[in-house]
Structure 1
Amino acid sequence: MPSPTPRLPRPSAQDAPHSGLRPAQTAALAACADALLILLFAAIGRDAHQRGEIITGVFATAWPFLVGAALAWLVLRLWHDPLRVWPAGVAVWLGTVGVGMILRALTGQTVVLPFIIVALLSLAVFLLGYRLVVAGVRRLRSRRRQA
């Protein structure tokens, strides 16, 4: 009779990264960071094209992307681990761009290939970038604790 496979210990609360924040706080901060970075993307784009109406214009440009990010958060329940690059970061990034472009097209806003490419690249840097930084910091902290 073969011997049973040994059970691995389950991670405990002590194994979790120590950020000092509760999960709900982490999710709220990540959602706010996503929204602010999407607004920054819209503001940079409007500034690059020298468009007027600074505040209302930024929101007019950003709202389809904000809806896309919100849908990704809700449909995929990303609040469970919002700072992971995969799947949370990739889901927010692709949801933001995909839904954002669909909503722009449905509302008569510009959707051309160069803009899609710029949005994909810019929002990847923003939405995946800070999550990569968080992952790196977590790895460093973990290594220091083990040493």
Structure 2
Amino acid sequence: MQRLGWLASLLADVVGVLVFCAVGRRSHAEGLTLAGIAATAWPFLTGTLIGWLASRGWRRPTAVAPTGLTVWVCTVVVGMLLRKLSSAGVAVSFVVVASTVTALVLLGWRAALGLALRRRADV
């Protein structure tokens, strides 16, 4: 069961990043092809996986801190560095939007789950 928990958490993070990238492509009238989403997502997904490794996310996969914060920071920082190295855009406005949206996605589900579990324990 523990293995399923961290795999589900990793999947939630990956899906969240993919949705962020797909919505971003859609809002800029870019195609929603698998190749297009993959091209946009790979820098961020690389950061997400580095964050999981750095935080040893499998130990406390649903924790906002340290797992969620580390995954979020790595997703944004590594993602932006890789985008810059691959000549993709890293405008300040994009960094702000990406940081905000990925924080809501990667930290939000963890915070909501923690709140729900605390409320359930109080009942």
TM more than 0.5: yes
Partner of 2:16: 37
The residue type equivalent to 1:64 in the other structure is: P
Q: For residues 16-35 of structure 1, what are the alpha-carbon distances to aligned partners after superposition, in whole Å with 9 as ceiling and x for unaligned?
A: xxxxxx22111000000000
Alpha-carbon contact 1:83-1:89 (below 8 Å) kept: yes
Alpha-carbon contact 2:55-2:66 (below 8 Å) kept: no
Q: Which TM-score applies when normalising by structure 1?
A: 0.81
Aligned residue pair count: 123
Partner of 2:84: 105
Partner of 1:18: none
- What secondary structure, in the 3-state scheme, does the structure 2 residue paired with 1:60 have? helix
Deviation for aligned residue 1:53: 5.2
Identify which of 37, 43, 60 aligns with 2:39: 60
Give unmatched runs, 5+ long, in structure 1. 1-21
- What secondary structure, in the 3-state scheme, does the structure 2 residue paired with 1:111 have? coil
Partner of 1:143: 122
Alpha-carbon contact 1:89-1:127 (below 8 Å) kept: yes
Alpha-carbon contact 2:26-2:32 (below 8 Å) kept: no
The list of structure 1 runs, each at least 4 consecutive aligned residues, that deviate by more than 6 angstroms after superposition, is none
The residue type equivalent to 2:111 in the other structure is: L
Alpha-carbon contact 1:23-1:80 (below 8 Å) kept: no
Aligned-residue CA RMSD (Å): 0.9
Q: Mapping of 1:1-80 within 5 angstroms?
A: 22-52=1-31, 54-80=33-59
Q: Is the helix fraction higher in 1 or 2?
A: 2
Structure 2 distance, partners of 1:98, 1:75, is 13
Structure 1 distance, partners of 2:110, 2:26, is 26
Query: Is the radius of gyration larger for structure 1 or structure 2?
Result: 1
Structure 1 distance, partners of 2:41, 2:92, is 18
Structure 1 distance, partners of 2:51, 2:28, is 28
